[in-house]
Amino acid sequence: MDAAAVAAWLREFARLIAENKELLTELDSAIGDADHGTNMDRGMTAVLTALDGAAGTPGALLKRTGMTLVSTVGGASGPLYGTAFLRMATAAGDADSLDAEGFAKVLRAGLDGVVARGKAEIGDKTMIDALTPAVDALDAALADGQPLGEALRAAVRGAEQGREATIPLVARKGRASYLGERSAGHQDPGATSVTMLVAAAAKALGA
């Protein structure tokens, strides 16, 4: 997986965010302030511009993505996604390409970054409720000897299950936590967008 493959992943993520912008904002209107779709779309549109003509290593592209998200996306999700990509960049180092295990390490570093920054635990109704099972499923499938494409599809199933599991939860982090019990019964917007990040990886890298 070289820089072109990583760029294809980021472009596919941007496409999914743009396509689902209204859905994400609608989810955020139920338990937040109705801006998650516009926040993420603004950020990923800026990332597309930043990636245009950008050359370099996977790590360099991931770093550029993180810095762009930190500077263009406000709210909770900007620093969280920004930190995720900056940690991914550090994990990717200056290698010209990543193998399947290397990519799994990069994704886990992103998850660890979100946890370090946001201090959320599983079950708090946040993006980590979807990203954690995705990264765990990816690691398990690779350890089981499955090819990257199969492993990424397992990761998508993990993310989707985690995303669905946020519906009954009471939020304990972020803006949705202000609603207390009234946050239950709604799917978390960040868990929904991060599932798109994993789905984009399966689509772009999982052939």
Q: Which does 173 bind (CB under 5 to 8 A by kind): ligand ADP, Mg ion, none?
A: ligand ADP
Q: CB burial class (10 A; 0-12, 13-18, 19+) of residue 37?
A: buried
Minimum distance, C-beta of residue 191 to Mg ion, in the bound complex (Å): 13
Displacement of CA 173 from its chain's centroid (Å): 17
Judged by beta carbon, residue 38 or residue 90, the one nearer ligand ADP is 38
Displacement of CA 165 from its chain's centroid (Å): 17
Alpha helices by DSSP H, 73-179: 77-92, 100-118, 128-143, 148-165
Residue from the set 169, 174, 186, 205 that interacts with ligand ADP by CB under 6 A = 174
Judged by beta carbon, residue 118 or residue 158, the one nearer Mg ion is 118
> Which range touches ligand ADP (CB under 6 A), out of 28-36, 89-97, 136-144, 197-205?
28-36
Residue nearest to Mg ion (CB): 32
139 belongs to the binding site for Mg ion (CB under 5 A): no
41 belongs to the binding site for ligand ADP (CB under 6 A): no
Minimum distance, C-beta of residue 188 to ligand ADP, in the bound complex (Å): 5
Which residue has tokens 């909770």? 76
28 belongs to the binding site for Mg ion (CB under 5 A): yes
* Structure tokens, 200: 């984009």
Q: CB burial class (10 A; 0-12, 13-18, 19+) of residue 60?
A: middle
93: left (phi over 0), alpha (psi -120 to 50) or beta: left
Per CB under 6 A, which of residues 104..163 are in contact with ligand ADP?
114, 118-120, 126-128
The footprint of ligand ADP (CB under 6 A) covers 28, 32-33, 35-36, 39, 75-77, 80, 114, 118-120, 126-128, 173-175, 188-191
